[in-house]
């Protein structure tokens, strides 16, 4: 396998596809290469070409979660979501760009069952073991999006700058369809370069986990208040980060038999998140 260090974001982007894959911190990609979930002839190393650091609310996609969790310039919800992700070692390698694009943790998918997301015709989790799975958007694929920071960025109304366009973080994600099983709208030869994060009046991120640390979210709730409006977004409840229009939208969830408990957790965390936001 070749390892290349491109000299510009454009050169990096244009070399992707046809067996070339972007490598940032490698914390998700390297295990997937090892397990045969991703095939690559060439790894395109992003460190020299994707911006890193925070300036006036703009975050380089190459900034690590460890750097973000301690940056006082950033909204509390994003700092808390980064601090609640993975382990200190993983956070010091893992970048925010890679975090937003990490693959599902659904074990059927990771174990290469020929499920809907792998191009098959059924969701093995729906019929099998699915305690960690979704309560929204789960009719075709019932996986639960693993990123804590993505939910925080969604609640904050962040926008992404890529090598091709600018888009709201909400538009980075899509539910799979018959024709297109991808969970993101990013093109194969498109890189995330920066994130633009608005400053709320107050924000918070709360996470329910099986263990107190180093665990993916059973449910994560981000709340961000901008004046009279409060935006809510959830992690761990749908194949993509999920914007919750208001707390009562939880009553429209479609839990599976094994995920009904997540609705209760989400109700409690939404209540707590809203109560914890200081009023003006």
Ligand X SMILES: Cc1cc2nc3c(=O)[nH]c(=O)nc-3n(C[C@H](O)[C@H](O)[C@H](O)COP(=O)(O)OP(=O)(O)OC[C@H]3O[C@@H](n4cnc5c(N)ncnc54)[C@H](O)[C@@H]3O)c2cc1C
Contacting residues toward ligand X, per CB under 6 A: 21-29, 46, 50, 61, 65, 85-86, 90, 93-95, 97-99, 101-102, 146-149, 191-192, 216
Instruction: Residue 242: name its binding partner from ligand X, ligand SF4, none (Cβ under 5 to 8 Å by kind).
Output: none
Give the CA distances from residue 279 to residues 46, 92, 153, 226, in Å, rounded to whole numbers and listed in that order: 42, 34, 21, 11
Give the CA distances from residue 105 to residues 59, 109, 125, 171, in Å, rounded to whole numbers and listed in that order: 26, 7, 12, 21
Candidates 110, 81, 250, 237; CA nearest to 173 is 237
Strand, helix or coil at 38?
coil
- Dist CA 235 CA 221 (whole Å): 6
Of the residues 50, 66, 101, 117, which one makes contact with ligand SF4 according to CB under 6 A: 117
- Restricting to residues 146-165, which ones interact with ligand SF4 according to CB under 6 A? none
Token representation of residue 96: 């925010």
Q: Which is nearer to ligand SF4, 124 or 262 (CB)?
A: 124
- The answer to whether 169 contacts ligand SF4 (rule: CB under 6 A) is no
Instruction: Residue 104: name its binding partner from ligand X, ligand SF4, none (Cβ under 5 to 8 Å by kind).
Output: ligand SF4
Site string for ligand SF4, 123-142 (x = CB under 6 A): xxx-------x-------xx
Instruction: Residue 125: name its binding partner from ligand X, ligand SF4, none (Cβ under 5 to 8 Å by kind).
Output: ligand SF4
Residue 56 in contact with residue 34, Cβ under 8 Å?
A: no
Q: What is the binding site for ligand SF4 (CB under 6 A)?
A: 104, 106, 108-109, 115-117, 123-125, 133, 141-143
């Amino acid at each position: 396998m070749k390892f290349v260090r491109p000299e510009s974001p454009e050169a990096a982007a244009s070399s992707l596809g046809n067996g070339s894959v972007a490598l940032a911190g490698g914390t998700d990609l390297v295990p997937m290469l090892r397990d045969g979930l991703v095939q690559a002839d060439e790894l395109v190393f992003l460190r020299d070409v994707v911006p890193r650091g925070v300036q006036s609310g703009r975050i380089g996609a190459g900034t690590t979660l460890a750097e973000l969790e301690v940056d006082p310039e950033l909204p509390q919800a994003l700092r808390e979501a980064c601090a609640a992700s993975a382990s200190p070692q993983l956070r010091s390698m893992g970048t925010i760009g890679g975090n937003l694009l990490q693959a599902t943790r659904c074990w059927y998918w990771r174990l290469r069952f020929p499920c809907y997301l792998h191009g098959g015709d059924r969701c093995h989790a729906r019929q099998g073991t699915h305690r960690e799975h979704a309560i929204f958007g789960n009719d075709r694929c019932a996986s639960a999006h693993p990123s804590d920071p993505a939910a925080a960025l969604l609640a904050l109304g962040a926008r992404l700058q890529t090598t091709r366009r600018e888009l709201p973080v909400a538009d980075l994600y899509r539910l799979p369809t018959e024709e297109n099983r991808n969970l993101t709208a990013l093109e194969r030869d498109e890189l995330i370069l920066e994130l633009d994060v608005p400053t709320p009046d107050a924000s918070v991120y709360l996470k329910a986990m099986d263990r107190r640390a180093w665990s993916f979210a059973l449910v994560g709730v981000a709340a961000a208040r901008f004046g009279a409006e409060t935006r809510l977004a959830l992690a761990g409840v749908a194949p993509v980060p999920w914007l919750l229009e208001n707390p009562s939208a939880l009553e429209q969830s479609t839990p599976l038999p094994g995920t009904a408990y997540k609705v209760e957790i989400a109700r409690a965390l939404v209540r707590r998140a809203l109560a914890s936001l200081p009023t003006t």
